[in-house]
Chain A
Amino acid sequence: MDARRFSEWAERHNLPVVRASVTISSWVWTGVFGVGLVLLAGEAPHVRNFFELQTKPALVVLAILCATSIIGLLATRGASPNARGVATLFGNALIMWFVGSLVSLSGERGATVFALLPVFVAAYHGYLLRMSTRYPYAITSIVAGIGGAIALSPQHIALFELITPMAVGVSLTLGTVALKTDALNAEREQLRQAVAAQALEDKGREAQKLSTALLDVLGQNHDIGNSLAAARVNADWLHRQTVQGATQPEPADLHAVILRARDVRKGFEDRPVLSGASLALEPGEVILLAGPNGSGKTTFARILSTLLPPDDGEVTLDDEPVSEHRALTRRRIGFTTHVPLLYRGLTPVENLVFFARLAEVRDGGLRAIDLLTRFGLKDAMHRPVANFSRGMLQRVVLCRALLNDPPILILDEPYAGLDEDGVAAVNTVLREARAAGRSALVIAHGKERAQSVVTRTVHLRDGRIEAA
């Protein structure tokens, strides 16, 4: 009978006797191991001398055991309860076998084996990083630590010999019971989640049907759908602004600025990518930069945003070369590109707050929450972005670009991975920017998604920018 069937059966019958039998079997294990260890210790006549001579190594070995156990405890998640249970039982058995080997030896050879012990334990725990459990190791660690402290006093060696097998036994018992309880709870939780997910899926399907029908009624026009979604996002935003008093950042610079590239050239390893590209981004403009793959769009965007220096030519912000005012220029540009420019180990809020503080945005935390809510990430703002889908990640990326409300936006493939709501949110941002006299350069392969917001379209061909 495998763990799943066993758990289902136990759940179905809810019999206390099942758990009792698990406990009893654990005690049997405990008894076998405990008695075995005591016998081993009793057969080792030199054990007292050894500990008296080697109290420090004894302590350090136990400390390493504790440390590796705690590492195992922290690092192990998600393995099946059955696998964890088996691993735990054998793990404890293995550790005790080493302890038994140790106490049956003496003198220098014993010391060498003692010194080797942490290596084996560390290797074993390294293996267990994939499949182990929390409770038995936590308890074993604590008790082993107490044992180590007792071992410091030679007169308490006998107590140490007695306590160690008892402690391991107790840890085995508690651990096994905890595992089985975990298994039952996990099964129950999985079932509950499956039912909830099914209900949610049904509701989602109904909502999808309704929205499709609504779009059909409105003339089956894609733009209308976009506009509706945008209007909804706008309405939410306005509501927060007026009713909840949502925060606005200190603008990076209130006055409109002109970002201009003149005759920019750039090549990589003798391959010219840009050969005289020029473009001026005027206030209130939203320019779509199109072009085939490899035409140099991203390179041009990186040069405009000061991340990459041009080989020749000049980029200016209000006629000042950006290379001379790099920090100021960067705070005036909201930039997104193919890589997220985020830390995957941090949550969206942590990422945004960090960058807000670096850019000295006032009330950065509130601004971050406001943006994340606006982009539909309210429920995911405290999860590490490493677990995000492409679309969710793209929304966080856009939030980061908008964090300090910059007068210039350079968005490289902003629609990548976004659904219709996401596209609408981006277009709303661009409309707002245009209305506020700010400017934006949008880089995309196709112009369909951005068509409703751009003021002009340009193409990058043969390293030069041409009007569409």
Chain B
Amino acid sequence: MILLEVARKDLTLYARDVRFLATLGLFSASLTLILSMAFGPIYQDAPREAAATMWASLFFAGVLGLTRSLDMEREAGGGDALRMSGADPYAIYLGKTLANFLLLAAVFALLLPLTSVFFDVGSLSGLPRVAGVAAIALLGYSAWGTLFAALARGLQARELLLSVLLFPSLIPLWIGAVKLTHALWGEGGTASVGDWVKVMLVMDVLGLGVAAWLYEPVQEAGE
């Protein structure tokens, strides 16, 4: 299955790039630490600050992952080789999205305990719900991020452009993730939870849908 082959290839390349993993892990952990120090030591609203810190760290660290994903296809012509394979471009896109999703999920698994400890928020019983929020948010992030990474591939200053393109598009996802996590950790403010879940799901579907329509021309024009 092309989707799984592409995901496996990307994950193998991530796993073998120890410097990249070290940079990603240390960058995201340091960002969480620095923000926790900036907000602390006495927190005004620990759940809110913790949620904002965790998601900001995760979204910024995610750009590192997307940039690496982009570079992998550039450095030895891997992108051209994928095109020449004649494989379905959307399956390739889904494979890369899956790999990016799993990479971000690993970063989330690192940041969640850090945030929980630094801000003294969350509990084991609430973990499945937070993980559910993360799954929805990270799916959208990966879906849009993979598309924008492909779009930026052929451009100069692509890392800068990737951030410029990506972050404004992800605002609904970011706000939704923070609001929902805050609600879960803060034991309150659950009135709009359902609305934010819908917004994020719409963003996910939109990302995957737009890519189904746009990824092939973006891939063809990206070089």
Q: Which residues of A contact B (CB under 8 A)?
A: 56-57, 59-60, 63-64, 67-68, 71, 74-75, 108, 111-112, 115, 118-119, 122, 126, 129, 305, 307-309, 326-331, 333, 335, 337, 339-346, 350, 354-355, 357-359, 384, 400
B210 to chain A, nearest CB (A): 21
Q: Which residues of A contact B12 (CB under 8 A)?
A: 345-346, 350
Interface pair B81/A119, CB less than 8 Å apart: no
Q: Which residues of A contact B19 (CB under 8 A)?
A: 75, 129
Q: Which residues of A contact B86 (CB under 8 A)?
A: 326-331, 358-359
Q: Which residues of B contact A67 (CB under 8 A)?
A: 25, 29, 110
Told that A340-B77, A341-B84 touch, could you supply 4 new A-B pairs with CB distance under 8 A? A71-B22, A327-B87, A341-B78, A359-B87
Interface pair B87/A343, CB less than 8 Å apart: no
Q: Which residues of A contact B6 (CB under 8 A)?
A: 358
Of residues A60, A111, A309, A337, which shows the largest number of chain B Cβ atoms within 10 Å of its Cβ? A60
Q: Does B196 contact A (CB under 8 A)?
A: no
Q: Which residues of B contact A (CB under 8 A)?
A: 2, 5-6, 9, 12-13, 16-19, 21-22, 25-26, 29-30, 33, 36-37, 41, 72, 75-78, 80-88, 110, 113-114, 117-118, 120, 220, 223
A134 to chain B, nearest CB (A): 13
Other-chain residue from A328, A335, A340 in contact with B84 (beta carbon distance below 8 A): A335
Q: How far is the CA of A411 from the CA of B91 in the complex (A)?
A: 28
Q: Could you count the A-B residue pairs with CB atoms below 8 Å apart for me: how many are there?
A: 117
> What residue in chain B is nearest A108 (Cβ atoms)?
B41
Q: Which residues of A contact B83 (CB under 8 A)?
A: 307, 330
> What residue in chain A is nearest B82 (Cβ atoms)?
A358
Interface pair A75/B82, CB less than 8 Å apart: no
Q: How far is the CA of A126 from the CA of B76 in the complex (A)?
A: 28
Q: Which residues of A contact B80 (CB under 8 A)?
A: 307, 337, 339, 341
Q: Which residues of A contact B17 (CB under 8 A)?
A: 345
Q: How far is the CA of A359 from the CA of B85 in the complex (A)?
A: 5
A436 to chain B, nearest CB (A): 21
Q: How far is the CA of A60 from the CA of B118 in the complex (A)?
A: 8
Interface pair B9/A122, CB less than 8 Å apart: no
What are 12 contact pairs spanning A and B, CB under 8 A?
Answer: A57-B117, A74-B18, A75-B18, A118-B29, A122-B30, A307-B80, A327-B88, A330-B83, A330-B85, A345-B17, A358-B82, A358-B87
Q: Which residues of B contact A119 (CB under 8 A)?
A: 30, 33
Q: Which residues of A contact B37 (CB under 8 A)?
A: 112, 115
Q: Which residues of B contact A358 (CB under 8 A)?
A: 2, 5-6, 82, 85-87
B223 to chain A, nearest CB (A): 7
Q: How far is the CA of A64 from the CA of B118 in the complex (A)?
A: 12
Check A342/B77 contact, CB under 8 A, given A122-B26, A357-B2, A358-B85.
yes
Of residues A63, A108, A122, A345, which shows the largest number of chain B Cβ atoms within 10 Å of its Cβ? A345
Q: How far is the CA of A331 from the CA of B83 in the complex (A)?
A: 10
Q: How far is the CA of A341 from the CA of B87 in the complex (A)?
A: 15
Q: How far is the CA of A346 from the CA of B18 in the complex (A)?
A: 14
Q: How far is the CA of A16 from the CA of B163 in the complex (A)?
A: 60
Q: How far is the CA of A71 from the CA of B23 in the complex (A)?
A: 10
Q: How far is the CA of A358 from the CA of B1 in the complex (A)?
A: 8
Interface pair A357/B5, CB less than 8 Å apart: yes
Interface pair A341/B77, CB less than 8 Å apart: yes
Of residues A122, A350, A358, which shows the largest number of chain B Cβ atoms within 10 Å of its Cβ? A358
Q: How far is the CA of A118 from the CA of B117 in the complex (A)?
A: 14
